[in-house]
Amino acid sequence: MMTTLLMALGLMLVLEGLMPLLAPQTWRQTFERMLTMNNGQLRFVGILSIVFGLLLLAVAN
C-alpha cells in the first residue's frame, strides 16, 4: 500500500512539473488568473479536480 501511494505521489509530481517545464508562460498566466478568483471559485476547481481524479481511479480499477 505504501509503495503504491509513493508511486502515485511521484507520478503526480512528474505530471505537475510538466506544465512549468514545457510552457512556463502559460503556467504563470494560469496562476495569475487563479489569484483573481474568489474562494468559492477556487473550491469549485478543487472539487472538480477531486471528482475527475476519483473517476479516473474508478475507470483504472
How confident is the model over 22-45, as pLDDT tens digits?
999 999 999 999 999 999 999 999
| Mean per-residue pLDDT, 45-54 | 94
Q: Domain residue spans in the chain? A: 24-61
Can you say whether residue 37 is alpha, beta or left, with left for phi > 0 and alpha for psi between -120 and 50 degrees?
Answer: beta
Q: What is the pLDDT of residue 33?
A: 94
Contacts of 42 (CB under 8 A, 6+ apart): 34
Confidence of residue 54 (pLDDT cuts 50, 70, 90): very high
